[in-house]
Amino acid sequence: MKSRTTTGVGVISALAGVVALTGLVTAGTAQAATGCAVTYTTNDWPGGFTAAVTIQNLGDAINGWTLGFAFPDSSQKVDTGWSATFSQSGQNVTATNVDYNAAITTGASVSIGFNGTWSGSNPQPAAFTLNGVTCTGTTTNPSPTPSPTRSPSPSPSPTRSPSPSPSPTRSPSPSPSPSPSPTSGKPTVAADGTGTYRTVQAAIDAVASGNSSRKVITIKPGTYREIVTIPANKPYITLQGLGSSPGDVVIVNSHYAGGNGGTFNSATAFVSGHDSALTNLTISNDYVEDGTTVNQQAVALNLNADRAVLSNVRLLGDQDTFLINDSARTYVKSSYIEGTVDFIFGGGTAVLNDCDIYEKRSSGAPITAARTDAAKTYGFLVYRSRITGATGNTTQLGRPWGPSAQVLYRESSLSSTIKTSQPWTDMSGNSWKNARFFEYKNTGAGATVNSNRPQMSDSQAANYTPQKYLAGSDGWNPIG
């Protein structure tokens, strides 16, 4: 893989007129930019790339913007974008602000990005426009913004105690694709002392409270045994593993509810800053249930952050691996999640797209425990993912932690680990029959249909897409 950067040069004024670039989309808004600079950085691999784009306003303050550029090669396509709404017509691309980054004061910058594909070649765009004005200014010290990478390679964490191996019936994992190549220069975090900081938490602590632009913390391969917290007053933080796979960077601790103030305090990582991103790394709680203790919940990731994106990550635990709290919306792409009981749980909204979910306990248990509020339409969507387990006919799709729990398994592969006759079960006096549990067009040995398996109709399914789950009131669309 290789990393490349293109930066505009010079400054222009709107008084000199809007320069229309041939082949570029230059959609204007109510406010024109009087000067701008764009830094475009890519990490490339055969057939795909990640692009990080920094836009700096060198003129008067604006509130509302559209960035335009043209791909030089007709094979180049935008796949998945974030922090902007992307559209493409032929080789022309536009990126329009979302609500929280519409305003750019004089001299300020915003960072956006996307995953893309190519088949012919992947040259850099030659020019950019902001609100119809050609960007010819300069920026300094560009910092790549990582993005969801494509297709993880699920595998047991080397730091965990042995657990049951996947059964022979486990459905094929997605083909691995390269992760973004390491950022050039010194990593932000390196346990061996070659980075700016030795711990992930020290790097987070160094970020100023109330930051308004993306801060990328790169992490050198290694094992980081610590408790990591991204607080609510530090949004736009990305933790990016620099290894060739998510198993190369492992953030791990052994923390369980009985000794640490209950389930909610038992996590290895607490992520609360909105627009957080985790990519190409593992978060693990390696506490192992041994049958001799009580309160054995041991959370790997406690997520309070709204608009969080997890890509090419592994979340490893036993009971209660991944907690999505009420205030959170999260998009989890091409990742791996394993556990034993209720290991995807909470009252938030989550879309798990192209993920591998593995029930590792030989006796099976429910995968999800949703606590969706009755006023919320959407809870958990497991979309085009693969569900496997250590043994056959033992694993349940979920149970209702709250009476109005909402879970949909859609177009996913359910292996023979699923308990086909009764894949939903009751919890704490809440009947699964009163919850909003559905399946839609699933396949595999565990995807039979009977009276205990409510199926969503085609007309219903039209309103239960990944985009609709995540849109909220602000129209958030990390999927592109």
Pairing of strands 344-346, 237-241: unpaired
pLDDT at 8: 40
pTM above 0.85, yes or no: no
> What gap in Å lies between CA 284 and CA 225, rounded to an integer?
10
Q: Which parts of the chain have pLDDT scores under 70?
A: 1-34, 43-46, 82, 100, 138-185, 259-260, 290-295
| pLDDT tens, residue by residue, 218-246 | 999 999 999 999 999 999 999 999 999 99
Catalytic hit among 320, 326, 373, 458? 320
> 169-219 pLDDT, tens per residue?
333 333 233 334 344 568 999 999 999 999 999 999 999 999 999 999 999
Contact 277, 219 (CB under 8 A): no
- 318 classed as catalytic: no
CB-based contacts of 200, cutoff 8 Å, min separation 6: 189, 217, 219, 224, 226, 228, 239, 251
Q: What is the DSSP letter of 454?
A: -
User: What is the tens place of the pLDDT at every residue in 247-294?
Assistant: 999 999 998 887 667 888 889 999 999 999 999 999 999 988 766 554
Least Cα distance to 409 among 401, 419, 397 occurs for: 397
Separation between Cα atoms, residue 200 and residue 189, nearest integer Å: 6
342 counts as catalytic:
yes
pLDDT for the residue numbered 263: 86
* Active-site position among 318, 342, 354, 356: 342
Is 168 exposed, middle or buried, given 0-12, 13-18 or 19+ CB atoms closer than 10 A? exposed
**What pLDDT was estimated at residue 167?**
33
